[in-house]
Every structure is written in structure tokens, then in C-alpha cells.
Chain A
Amino acid sequence: AQTVTQSQPEMSVQEAETVTLSCTYDTSESDYYLFWYKQPPSRQMILVIRQEAYKQQNATENRFSVNFQKAAKSFSLKISDSQLGDAAMYFCAYRSANTGTASKLTFGTGTRLQVTL
């Protein structure tokens, strides 16, 4: 079974600064997808960024980028130029590429990000 670990329950960053959220996972599969979801205080989770395991290039979405290290099974999220609206709970998630057996997401415990002035 796959597991996802987020070792930082809480993080804080000053506005306009950069912060990195950590995520490691464990799997025996070679093909899978990784995601970062953001849950603002209003509670609806939204997808921030996704990474296909077969792609070596790290995914980037505006101020959000990932550092995907497949051999180390690490998938960290970097938020540049942090904004007050980035304050939220961030969840790292794994999904198997084997759609015949599993399409569910496996989540970590989340990291609560605070953004200060």
C-alpha cells in the first residue's frame, strides 16, 4: 500500500518570501501521479499542481513549483512570492496510474501554512 508523509504540521512564511513544503511517499509502483491540494479556510480543496512520475521535468504553475525526486520519493512544493491568500492547509497526494485497480487519492496529514505581513 502507498503512504504519503508530510512531516511539517505547520509552516509560516512572510509575505513575498519563499517557502517549501515537504512531502515524501512510499510506493512500489513505477508509474503514478502526485498532487498538491490547497484547502483555504472556506474548506473547498482545490488542485494546486500535479506531477506525472514519468516526467523528469518538474511541474510549475505560476508561483508554485515542485521538486520531484523520484529516486528519493520526495515531492516538495515551493511557493514563491507568498501572498496572504496562500494561507491554507496543503495536502500532498498520490494516485496510482493503474486505473484498473485504483483511482483513489492517498493523502498526507497536511501542512498548515500561515502567511504573515
Chain B
Amino acid sequence: EAGVTQFPSHSVIEKGQTVTLRCDPISGHDNLYWYRRVMGKEIKFLLHFVKESKQDESGMPNNRFLAERTGGTYSTLKVQPAELEDSGVYFCASSQWVAENTEAFFGQGTRLTVV
């Protein structure tokens, strides 16, 4: 069974440019999460999809970030325009259920560098 897949694995862009990150969750997982880790700091929650609906987007830093999950399958996270402070590693995770202690499976992350 394929795990959570993210791409690109690395992205280096200039300030002001646009970048789109993609996440393919495990097949059948309705729940999809985006997280971000800025260098040396904690991994922070960005948002949570249940199928194609945004269940919780309280962690989105500002309106330069746009997440979509059309059709309830893969998800994209677009940053437009990118700023220096957006640099970090963006993780995607998926889980089958929300209930109890369901395990969330993580992708390898996308390392974004804004220069």
C-alpha cells in the first residue's frame, strides 16, 4: 500500500513567486492534514480536510496560503506570493478516521526555501 506522497521534495523560489505543494494521501483516508515546521521550531498545524471540506483552517498563517482538496483525493497548498518567513518543511498527513487514537500517517515533507 502506498503511503502519503508529497512533491516536490524540495523547492527553492524567490520572494514574491508562487509555489504549489501537492499531497497524495493514503487511498481511502478521508482526513488530510497540513503541517509546517519552521527551522528549529515545533511542527505547527495548518489545516484539516475531511474529504473535500475544510474542517479546521485555524492554523493557516494568512491569506497568502490557499489549500484545496478537489474531489476529496489529493490536496494542494499554494503560497502566493511567497515571503522569506514561509521557508520551512511542509508536512502532509492522512488518517482514516478522526475518532479515538487513529494513527496519522505522514509524508516525507516538502522543504520550501524562499530566497
A residues engaging B (CB < 8 A)? 4, 33, 37, 42-47, 50, 52, 91, 95, 97, 99, 102-110
Contact = CB atoms under 8 A, between A and B. Distances in A.
Most buried by A among B44, B99, B101, B103: B101
B30 to A, nearest CB: 11
B43 A91 contact: yes
B56 A102 contact: yes
Given A50-B101, A103-B98, A43 B108 contact: yes
Nearest to A46: B106
Contact of B101 (A52, A102, A104, A106): A52
12 contacts: A44-B106, A44-B108, A44-B109, A47-B103, A47-B104, A52-B101, A99-B99, A102-B56, A105-B33, A107-B35, A107-B42, A110-B43
A103 B48 contact: yes
Contacts of A50: 101, 103
Interface string B5-48: 00000000000000000000000000101010000111111001
Contacts of B59: 104
Contacts, number: 55
Given A42-B108, A45-B106, A46-B106, A104 B42 contact: no
A87 B107 CA distance: 19
A45 to B, nearest CB: 4
Nearest to A101: B56
Given A103-B48, A108-B42, A45 B99 contact: no
Interface in B43-68: 43-45, 48, 55-56, 59
Contact of B43 (A47, A102, A103, A107): A107
B56 A105 contact: no
A18 to B, nearest CB: 26
Contacts of B3: 44
Nearest to A95: B101
B23 to A, nearest CB: 13
